[in-house]
Structure 1
Amino acid sequence: MSTATPPVSGKLFGLFCLASYLLSLSYGSTFLLSLLISSRGGNEHDAGSVISAAMLSTFAAVIVSGHLSDLLGAARSVALFGVLLVAASLGFALTPGFGHLLLLFGLLLGLGWGVFYTLGPIIVASLVTPTQRAKYFALLSGSMMTGIGSGPLLGRAASAFGYPVTAAFYLAALASLIGVLLFWRLDRQLKQAAVQTTAVSRISWRSAGQVLSSKAVFPIIMVGLGGCVFGGLSSFQTSYAAARSLDYSLFFLGFMSAAISGRMLIAGFVVKRDPFRASCLLSGLMLASIVMFGFVVDSGFTYLLAAVMLGVGYGLTYSVINGLAANEAPNGTTAQSLLLFSLSYFIGVFGFPLLAGKIIVEQGMGTLLLTVLAVASLNWLITVGRLIWRRLSTTRALQRA
């Protein structure tokens, strides 16, 4: 069979991606929390606290997801915990004010999203061969990014039609419910279509140590730093746009369109290139976009351009390092490497908004952008360091020969 031909039917994988898109809407709607909480008298720090509550529950989600997958099957586990995404979206919409009850729904969001986001790539890894992983990870992440980006756009559409922002959360809850039903129904078909199995998906201190002492630690660190950039900018984009008299929907349209088209159309080409060079170039593009947000954006056009650059850089970097995390892991630890990859991402995307909200309230948006710029710079320097180290290693090997 040609490596260009998927061992799983296009219809089955398409339904899997559709279900992933629908569940992702619930997380995408959280980018409207800053707007929702501000309308109720809160501020960015309050919104950051709610979003970061999800970080605590994602630790539990990542740890138990492997055990759940071994016990119930990955798709059934996603379906069961997807119900929590429905509850979280409804909770955000129905809870008055911005009190502690919202923190509870933040915890539910983290549990549901953590299990789904962690087990999704493991399902893909079982459906395709190692040489196909990067391509099909890109298709999955493209579907998820479509849902994530659609969440804030639902809020913008609701405002355009005269509905409150809570309408977006109701729609996200309905979409997630349909996604839950799809995952439940697809469980048997996905198991039958699997071309390989992992001995166990659960993680242990021993397997974690094996992964973190291997080269896979670098993409794991990078996804956490990238999560800080993505979470910090996306969670408070409504505040950034308001401060500059811009329409926040331009950011999500530009970012989502670039990330999706990049992952769907370009990723197949990019993942065949040298992953070290590709990650260096793409993380550099992401760094350049942060410079634009901080010092260049002054109109709708430059705002859209910066969002597109971020979408291409972040979106494609993620696809490349996701494949590296799987392929650089020691034998027999692919699933555990992907679990740690997800955990690192969650620490960044859910943990950083707490700091970001505090920075905005106490120091202003400009200081936040400088902080994000420093994080993106560190991310890029890791790729530069890996390239230099590889060149030195190659030179030493040639000298010994």
Structure 2
Amino acid sequence: MSAAAPPVSSRLFSLFCLASYLLSLSYGSTFLLSLLIGSRGGNELDAGSVISAAMLSTFAAVIVSGHLSDLLGAARSIALFSLLLVVASLGFALTPGFGNLLLFFGLMLGLGWGVFYTLGPIIVASLVTPAQRAKYFALLSGSMMTGIGSGPLLGRAASALGYPVTAAFYLAALASLIGALLFWRLDVQLKKTPSASASVARISWHATARVLSSRAVFPIIMVGLGGCVFGGLSSFQTSYAASRSLDYSLFFFGFMGAAISSRMLIAGFVVKRDPLRASCLLSGLMMVSILMFGFVVDDGFSYVLAAMMLGVGYGLTYSVINGLAANEAPSGTTSQSLLLFSLSYFVGVFGFPLLAGRIIVEHGMVTLLLTVLTIALLNWLITVGRLIWRHVSRIKTLQQA
């Protein structure tokens, strides 16, 4: 794509973000599964099993997404597979107990969410220049995280109005249906956009090896580790809040509010800064938030503050490393890199809750927080290591000059 590609229509991108927000409600509602399954006699391990079932189907989604995009177009592929999000949300609400049928709906969730989450950023990457990617990725991920954060709030609102928590899943199903219709309509407009790419690259062993042998491997690893942190904390926030006699909605209010405001107020500043230094600072902030959850939170104010720090740290880090994954990939492998980026994220956000649920049941919430802190520390050390390596390389270059 030319560096002089015309700017994206504000109306088009606004509709794209709205549709993304609506689809994200379905994933956000899964953070209520621990509460829902607990009310049916299950525990955190049962909830983690359902969430982790989605990891298996997301692998299939990532692998076939390129083929689907070539056959149907990216937007219409998202629209069709979004119907599986409707099915999954309704299935969670209507299935009695916590048996194997919930695992099936977890698989449906993974397929629907996987196709959307994989193709969404690739559509954005095809619409804008490399210099614009970090900004537009920030707007897209902001819309998605706002929807994710709104999902649990639907459950809290339902409870406040005297409705069961299943009401949140019904509303998520309706939102996903509307989002699917919007993406279907957006397909025509996206094809008229001069800068839009005609197709999406498919996964291949050769391209995968090229990406993983480049600097793009670092943001790909980081998003997986960040997904573990986010999935571990968010999926069992209802259990954490109950253990400290807090209202879980405060976490999602704080997280969502920080995610929105940080993108409105500081995202434009952050994406213009050195991405390595920015990701180091923001992943460090994410570590501080986990320390607060473990050792500081004891009332509503400290709870919201910790959630806000996580929202800023995790949310903006994700945007920065998403841009790095695209821009540090070898020439001609941008789409491949973004596919692997999504796959790594899914491993963390869907795979880790199974381990997290087992840790809670067998060792308690404190052990889970220490485990998540260790993962966040490793995530931060990757950025520190890259900064040190770059500094040493510059010194060597100067000495050789």
Partner of 1:137: 137
CA distance in 2 between counterparts of 1:4 and 1:282 reads 31
Map of 1:251 onto structure 2:
251
Q: Tell me, what secondary structure is at the counterpart of 1:21?
A: helix
In structure 2, the partner of 1:101 is 101
In the aligned structure 2, how far is the partner of 1:391 from the partner of 1:342?
30
C-alpha distance in 2, partners of 1:267/1:173? 31
Look up the equivalent residue of 1:188 and give its one-letter code: V
Say yes or no: does 1:214 pair with 2:214. Answer: yes
| Deviation of the 1:126 alpha carbon | 1.1
Alignment correspondent of 2:170 = 170
- Cα distance in 1 for residues equivalent to 2:196 and 2:175: 31
8 A contact 1:61–1:111 mirrored in 2: yes
1:262 pairs with 2:262: yes
Q: Which amino acid in the other structure matches residue 398 of structure 2?
A: L
Deviation at 1:5, TM superposition (A): 10
Deviation at 1:260, TM superposition (A): 1.9
* 1:225 aligns to 2:225 (yes or no): yes
Q: For the Cα contact (< 8 Å) 2:190–2:196, is it kept in 1?
A: no
Aligned partner of 1:157 in structure 2 is 157
Tell whether the 8 Å contact from 1:27 to 1:151 is kept in structure 2 after alignment. yes
Q: Aligned-pair distance for 1:8?
A: 1.8
Give the Å deviation of 1:263. 2.4
Note the C-alpha offset of 1:67.
Answer: 1.1
Structure-2-length-normalised TM-score: 0.98
TM-fit CA distance, 1:66: 1.1
User: For residue 231 of structure 1, what is the amino acid of its counterpart?
Assistant: G
- C-alpha separation in 1, matches of 2:163 and 2:194: 44
Give the CA deviation at 1:264. Answer: 3.2
Q: Report SS of the residue matched to 1:297.
A: coil
Q: Deviation digits for residues 20-70 of structure 1, max 9, x if unmatched?
A: 110100000000000000000000000000000000000000010011111
The corresponding residue for 1:397 is 397
How far 1:194 moved relative to its partner?
4.4
Distance 1:276 1:130 in 2: 17
RMSD (CA atoms): 1.2
Matches of 1:145 and 1:222, distance apart in 2: 18
Give the match's secondary structure for 1:150.
helix
Encode CA deviations 1:278-322: one digit per residue, 9 max, x unaligned: 000000000000000001111111111100000000000000000
Long gaps (5+) in structure 1? none
Q: Which amino acid in structure 1 is aligned with residue 169 of structure 2?
A: F
Task: Report the more deviating stretch, 373-382 or 8-17.
Answer: 8-17
Equivalent residue, structure 2, for 1:41? 41
> 1:196: Cα distance to partner?
4.7
| Distance change in 2, residues 1:158/1:373 (3 Å) | same
**Percent same amino acid among aligned pairs?**
85
What's 1:309 paired with? 309
Looking at structure 2, the residues matched to 396 and 198 of structure 1 have their Cα atoms a distance apart, in angstroms, of: 43
Alignment of 1:342-361 (within 5 A): 342-361=342-361
Higher mean C-alpha deviation, range 191-200 or range 207-216: 191-200
Inter-partner Cα distance in structure 1 for 2:22 and 2:320 = 24
Offset from partner CA, 1:72-129 (integer Å, 9 cap, x none)? 1100000010000000000000000000000000000000000000000011011111
Q: Which moved more, 1:196-205 or 1:179-188?
A: 196-205
Give the direction of change, closer, same or farther, for the CA distance of 1:24–1:4 in structure 2 (3 Å limit): farther
Amino acid at match of 1:94: L
Q: How far apart in 2 are the matches of 1:257 and 1:105?
A: 30
- Are 1:259 and 1:312, in contact at CA under 8 Å, matched by a contact in 2? yes
Q: 1:171 to 1:313 in 2, by over 3 A?
A: same
Contact 1:142 1:264 in 2 (8 A): no
Bigger mean CA deviation after superposition, 198-207 or 373-382: 198-207
TM-superposed CA distance for 1:390, in Å, is 0.1
Q: For 1:67 and 1:214, locate their aligned partners in 2 and report how far apart those are by CA, in whole Å.
A: 25
1:238 aligns with 2:238: yes
8 Å CA contact retained: 1:138, 1:264 = no
- Does residue 22 of the first structure (1) align with residue 22 of the second (2)? yes
Question: Take 2:6 and 2:105, find their aligned partners in 1: how far apart are those partners?
Answer: 38
User: What CA distance in whole angstroms lies between the structure 2 residues aligned with 1:373 and 1:190?
Assistant: 41
Report the counterpart of residue 279 of structure 1 in structure 2.
279
For 2:200 and 2:285, locate their aligned partners in 1 and report how far apart those are by CA, in whole Å. Answer: 37
One-letter amino acid of the structure 2 residue matched with residue 333 of structure 1: T
**How many correspondences in the alignment?**
399
CA distance in 2, matches of 1:149, 1:354: 21
Find the aligned partners of 1:213 and 1:264 in 2 and give their Cα distance. Answer: 35
Alignment partner, residue 89 of structure 2: 89
Q: Answer whether contact 1:251 1:307 (CA < 8 A) is retained.
A: yes
Task: Please state whether the residue corresponding to 2:266 is helix, strand or coil.
Answer: helix
2:370 aligned counterpart, secondary structure: helix
Contact 1:263 1:319 in 2 (8 A): no
Moved over 3 A (4+): 3-6
TM-aligned CA deviation for residue 191 of structure 1: 1.6
Which residue in the other structure is 2:80 paired with?
Answer: 80
Paired with 1:310 and 1:4, the residues of 2 have a C-alpha distance of 36
Corresponding position of 1:10: 10
Letter in 2 for 1:280: C
Find the counterpart in structure 1 of residue 385 from structure 2.
Answer: 385
CA positional deviation for 1:259: 1.3
